[in-house]
């Protein structure tokens, strides 16, 4: 099993519902978030393009954050989800430095926190909170190894890219362009 997410940058309107849904679902402290919206403006007038991306941890296949963790608090679970065990984390910050996407943050309680693909919801057969709430349905989630999953179907007919592939982390968020 390999969980992944596809994000349709043509459908996203940057409303931020995914951000709020995650903050509520996962009790993210004020001033932090596990997912966020990036507005990417490229070009020069009059040919300016804007791309909106809902970003979060890429649950990388080759995850530097897991490798550099001195205690084993950062680890990989079923489906390739990268997680942090709070009471094993010493808050050294190494994993935060190692992430090319700045996807982790230091929780005010001391440990490091990040997106979990809502694995507690997956266990109940639900989709991640951000996916469930998106009003434009631009987030597709599922198992890449299952050709009938939402994410596999979304990737089949569209062009996509991943962010900073040159970082070598094999990220698992696919942005439909």
- Based on CB atoms, which residue is closest to ligand SF4, 10 or 120? 120
Choose the contact partner of 114 out of ligand SF4, other proteins, none; CB within 5 to 8 A by kind. ligand SF4
Q: How far is the CB of 79 from ligand SF4 (least distance, A)?
A: 13
Segment interacting with ligand SF4 (CB under 6 A) among 6-14, 26-34, 55-63, 136-144: 55-63
Asked if residues 124 and 130 have their Cβ atoms less than 8 Å apart, the reply is no
Taking phi over 0 as left and psi of -120 to 50 as alpha, with beta for the rest, 102 belongs to left
Asked if residue 12 binds ligand SF4 (CB under 6 A), the reply is: no
Inter-residue contact 49 to 41 (CB < 8 Å) = yes
User: Is there binding between residue 81 and ligand SF4 (CB under 6 A)?
Assistant: no
Instruction: Name the binder of 39 from ligand SF4, other proteins, none, CB < 5-8 A by kind.
Output: other proteins
- The entry of other proteins, ligand SF4, none near residue 168 (CB within 5 to 8 angstroms by kind) is other proteins
State the residues that interact with ligand SF4 by CB under 6 A.
Answer: 57-60, 63-65, 68-71, 73-74, 82, 84, 89-95, 99, 101, 103-104, 112, 114, 169
């Amino acid at each position: 099993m390999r969980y992944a997410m596809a994000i349709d940058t043509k459908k996203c309107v940057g409303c931020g519902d995914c951000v709020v849904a995650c903050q509520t679902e996962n009790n993210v402290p004020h001033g932090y978030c596990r997912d966020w919206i990036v507005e990417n403006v490229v070009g020069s007038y009059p040919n300016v393009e804007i791309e909106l991306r809902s970003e979060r941890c890429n649950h990388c296949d080759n995850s530097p954050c897991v490798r550099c963790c001195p205690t084993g608090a950062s680890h990989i679970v079923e489906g390739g989800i990268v997680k942090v065990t709070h009471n094993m984390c010493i808050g050294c910050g190494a994993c935060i430095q190692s992430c090319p996407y700045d996807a982790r943050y230091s929780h005010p309680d001391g440990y490091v926190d990040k997106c979990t693909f809502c694995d507690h919801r997956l266990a109940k057969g639900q989709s991640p909170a951000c996916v469930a709430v998106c009003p434009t349905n631009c987030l597709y989630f599922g198992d890449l190894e299952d050709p009938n999953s939402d994410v596999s179907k979304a990737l089949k007919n569209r062009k996509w890219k991943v962010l900073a592939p040159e970082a070598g982390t094999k990220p698992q968020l696919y942005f439909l362009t």
